[in-house]
Chain A
Amino acid sequence: MEDMQIYIGLAAVFGLFMAWGIGANDVANAMATSVGSKALTIKQAILVAAIFEFTGAVLAGGEVTSTIRKGIIDAASVSDSPELLIYGMLASLAAAGCWLSIASKMGWPVSTTHSIVGAIVGFAVVGIGIDAVHWGKIGKIVASWVVTPMIAGFAAYLIYSSVQWLIIGRENPLERARRYVPVYIFLAGFTITLVTIFKGLKHAGLALSTQQAYLVATVFGILIALIGKFFINRIQIDEKADREFHFATVEKVFGVLMIVTACGMAFAHGSNDVANAVGPVAAVISIAKSGVVGQQSPLPLAVLVLGGVGIVVGLATFGRHVIATVGSKIIHLTPSRGFAAELAAASTIVMASSTGMPISTTQTLVGAILGVGMARGITAINLSVVSRIFISWVITIPAGAILAIIFFYILKAVL
């Protein structure tokens, strides 16, 4: 295609902008629970987020990127005029980016995933035709938006209930926390590693057998559990802050666990949300390069790296401030609760990433927090805020779609 460089250049710029926005705003929601419960300082949170967002994006972001890139639109319907798909994908990025900027300025809770999926469906229906959309796939994606917060909530309920039963409700919670928290650390490391190896790593050129996968995940889990145990053993009893049951010290032990789950959360966020930025980019690149709607071409690793870099840059420029503000307001979530919510959310998200479902990280985390609340873990949850969040997410889909349609016609006229 003659305008190939222009298209690829534009796509890269739009994609970077989107990734930057995700890093600046969205990462805060994944990290704020750890900062709010004082398990991490802001500097540490930025460092953890940068490392694990990037690795999550590159190692496990492939499946979701493929879904955004070629799972939503039926390639056959645009084989005559591949440039329509290029315009559409560019328009979707521009629309989602715009909508997110407006929303975060106004303080509306929106989801990057919902806006990008809404945008792609919007331009496809209007610009190409209603049959161009894989409605079956869309149905599955929308169902996953309903199911994942519920799964995360249920998992968080079980995890927190087990903590109550094993540690907090006992007469010697500190002793029991020292004994059982490493087990939870193992569980966190094991689950996330296993899911990543099973599905994600093939885009990074690594393929392991099932036994190898279990072995690697087990070794990895034990390794970080041992590191965690080392730090837990160094925690001194805080006599001043403690009463009968040493809960202040118990929370410090859970703080170690929360560092692990924060890493998992950043990894999970990177693995799912990078696709929102680079999925359309990957689509544009493959069409522009081949001149046809080449749905078979492999996903270039460089695209994922581009997304990862964008997220880290966003985090470094604006993310610090946003994490600080959100974190300072989440002080009611102690590590023993925060970890349960994060572990449940991170596992759910990584699993969704491995099956290629583009879901909302924040929505899943909200589901997990509600789950901890159901297990009587949180003193007060503002249900009116929760329902407002869910309503804005629903509004985001048509908003993304309408904006994408507008951008689509502009691009079609200009390019």
Chain B
Amino acid sequence: MANYLSGIFGSSPVAPLQEHMDIAYRCARQLIPLFEAVVKKDWVAVEDCRQTIRDLESEADEMKQEIRSNLPKSLFMPVPREDLLELLLVQDRVANRAKDVSGLVVGRKMELPEAIAEPFIKFVRCSVAAARQARKSVRELDELFETGFRGAEAKLVESMVAELDRLESESDALQSELRGGLFKLESELPPVDVMFLYKVIDLTGEVADFAERVGRRLELLLAH
């Protein structure tokens, strides 16, 4: 029998997008146990964390492909398809950066100088907090579609994105503090190690950056 009427309704990308962000966050979250293990020089635990991050990242990647293939051009949505794809891309970057960080740490058997261990963990936690806030905001996406991106729900999401911005600036501040701390130690450490420490700090900062860009993307959806 003709089920054409039901064919009109395309599959909604909302739940998969939310799930994707969830995975990306869980991926970023592993950076906390990873660096805690680095501080303790527990290399088995570090390797474990990296494996978890790798698995989650590839799960996110697969999911990204699937969401993309379910968003054909002929789909008519309340928001531009390009904006949703862009959101997906930034979400994916959060997971990617977490993987880059973990890869670098394991690849170089990186050790944290004791003097910067505490601020370093603090900085990682703040970056991960930004990712968590990004997930919290993306979890409102279904309600945003329900309300047509207007009214009280839109205001709620705006306030969530504002909090996300605040976390990202906090992480920025911690990052420059950390760089200052590392600068003072530079002369005592092997130069190559210092170089890569800076690199890890930058990449970890980017986790928060991309989390913030998730918020920017959500705001753009609201602006339409």
A contact residues vs B (CB 8 Å cutoff): 25, 28-29, 32, 36, 103-104, 107-110, 164, 168-171, 173, 243-245, 247, 321-322, 325-326, 329-330, 332-334, 362, 365-366, 369, 373, 375-386, 388-389, 392
Which A residue's beta carbon lies closest to that of B150? A169
With A247-B146, A378-B78, A380-B75 known, 14 other A-B pairs at CB within 8 A are A32-B6, A104-B2, A107-B4, A164-B148, A168-B151, A169-B147, A169-B150, A245-B143, A245-B152, A326-B1, A365-B5, A377-B78, A381-B77, A389-B4
Give the distance in Å from the alpha carbon of A402 to the alpha carbon of B16 in the complex.
48
Chain A's closest residue to B77 (CB) is: A380
Are B150 and A164 closer than 8 Å at their CB atoms? yes
Chain B residues near A376 (CB, 8 Å)? Answer: 78-79, 148-150
Q: Is B8 an interface residue (CB 8 A)?
A: yes
A373: contacting residue among B4, B11, B76, CB under 8 A? B76
Tell me if B9 and A380 are in contact (CB < 8 A): yes
Question: Roughly how many angstroms separate A385 CA and B8 CA in the complex, as a whole number?
Answer: 6
Q: Sorted from nearest, which 6 A-B pairs have the closest CB atoms?
A: A169-B151, A329-B6, A376-B78, A380-B10, A109-B4, A384-B74
Which residues on the B side are within 8 Å of A332 (C-beta)? Answer: 9, 12
Contact of A383 (CB < 8 Å), options: B5, B11, B14, B76: B76
- Across-interface contacts of A381 in B (CB, < 8 A): 8-10, 75-77
**Of B5, B79, B145, most A-chain CB atoms within 10 Å:** B5
B4 touches A382 (CB 8 A): no
Given A170-B151, A376-B149, are A107 and B2 neighbors across the interface (CB < 8 Å)?
yes
Smallest distance from the beta carbon of B85 to chain A beta carbons, Å?
14
A169 to B148 CA separation, bound complex (whole angstroms): 8
Whether, in the assembled complex, B119 has its beta carbon less than 8 Å from a beta carbon of chain A, the answer is no
CA distance A214 to B170 in the complex (A): 65
Given contacts A330-B6, A380-B77, A385-B7, contact A322 B1 (CB under 8 A): yes
Please report which residues of chain B, range 11-69, place their CB below 8 angstroms from some CB of chain A when the two chains form the complex. 11-14
A sample of 23 cross-chain residue pairs with beta-carbon separation below 8 angstroms, ordered by A number, consists of A25-B1, A28-B1, A107-B1, A110-B2, A164-B148, A169-B150, A169-B151, A169-B153, A326-B3, A329-B6, A332-B12, A365-B5, A366-B5, A373-B76, A376-B79, A379-B78, A380-B11, A381-B8, A382-B8, A385-B4, A385-B8, A389-B4, A392-B4
- Say yes or no: B9 contacts A382, CB within 8 Å: yes
Q: How long is the Cα–Cα vector from A244 to B150 in the complex, in angstroms?
A: 15
**Given A25-B2, A381-B75: A171 touches B7 (CB 8 Å cut-off):** no
Q: Which of B3, B8, B145, B150 contacts A379 (CB 8 A)?
A: B145
Q: Is the CB of A169 within 8 A of B4?
A: no
Number of chain B residues whose Cβ lies closer than 8 Å to a Cβ of chain A: 33
Q: Most A CB atoms within 10 A — which of B1, B11, B143, B153? A: B1
* A148 → chain B closest CB, angstroms: 16
Cα distance A244–B148 when bound, in Å?
Answer: 16
Q: Residue A247 contacts which of B6, B74, B143 (CB distance < 8 angstroms)?
A: B143
Q: Shortest distance in angstroms between A125's beta carbon and chain B's nearest beta carbon?
A: 28
Instruction: Determine whether B185 belongs to the interface, using a CB cutoff of 8 Å to chain A.
Output: no
**Are the C-beta atoms of B76 and A325 separated by less than 8 Å?**
no
Chain A residues closer than 8 Å to B14, beta-carbon distance: 379
State A118–B5 Cα separation when bound (angstroms): 22
Given A104-B1, A243-B143, A245-B152, do A380 and B13 touch, yes or no (CB 8 Å)? yes
CA distance A382 to B74 in the complex (A): 6
* B9 close to A333 (CB less than 8 A): yes
Who on chain B is nearest to A375 by CB? B148
For B2, B3, B143, B149, the residue with the greatest tally of chain A CB atoms inside 10 Å of its CB is: B2
Distance in angstroms from A73 CB to nearest chain B CB is 29
B107 within 8 A of A: no
Asked whether A369 lies within 8 Å of B2 as measured between CB atoms, the reply is no
Q: Is B191 an interface residue (CB 8 A)?
A: no
Query: Is the CB of B115 closer than 8 A to any CB of chain A?
Result: no
Taken together as a complex, chains A and B put the C-alpha atoms of A55 and B83 apart, in Å, by 48
Identify which of B5, B145, B146, B156 contacts A29 (C-beta below 8 A).
B5
A329 CA to B8 CA in the complex, in Å?
Answer: 10
How many angstroms from the CA of A170 to the CA of B156 in the assembled complex?
A: 11
Choose among B75, B148, B153 the residue that contacts A377 (Cβ–Cβ < 8 A): B148
Q: How far is the CA of A245 from the CA of B155 in the complex (A)?
A: 12
Q: Are B76 and A380 in contact (CB under 8 A)?
A: yes
C-alpha spacing A392/B74, complex, angstroms = 18
* Residue from A164, A373, A378, A384 within 8 A of B151 (CB atoms): A164
Which residue on chain A has the smallest CB distance to residue B9?
Answer: A332
| Complex Cα–Cα for A221 and B147 (A) | 28
Shortest Cβ distance from A330 into B: residue? B6
B190 at the interface (CB under 8 A from A): no
With a CB–CB cut-off of 8 A, which chain B residues contact A330? Answer: 5-6, 9
What's the nearest-Cβ distance from chain B to residue A121, in Å? 23
In whole Å, how far is A352's beta carbon from the nearest beta carbon of chain B? 19
Residues of the B chain whose Cβ atoms lie less than 8 Å from the Cβ of A28: 1
Complex interface: chain A residues within 8 A of B6 (CB): 32, 36, 326, 329-330
The chain B residue with its CB closest to the CB of A26 is B2
List of A residues within 8 angstroms of B156 by Cβ: 244
Residue interface bits B153-178, CB-to-A below 8 A is 1, else 0? 11010000000000000000000000
Q: Given A379-B12, A379-B14, A384-B72 in contact, is the A164-B5 Cβ separation under 8 Å?
A: no
List residues of chain A with CB within 8 A of the CB of B75.
Answer: 380-383
- What is the minimal beta-carbon distance from B87 to any residue of chain A, in angstroms? 14
Q: Return the chain B residue nearest A327 by Cβ.
A: B6
Q: Considering the complex, give the chain A residue whose CB is closest to the CB of B11.
A: A380
List residues of chain B with CB within 8 A of the CB of A104.
Answer: 1-2
B100-159 interface (Cβ within 8 A of A): 143, 145-154, 156
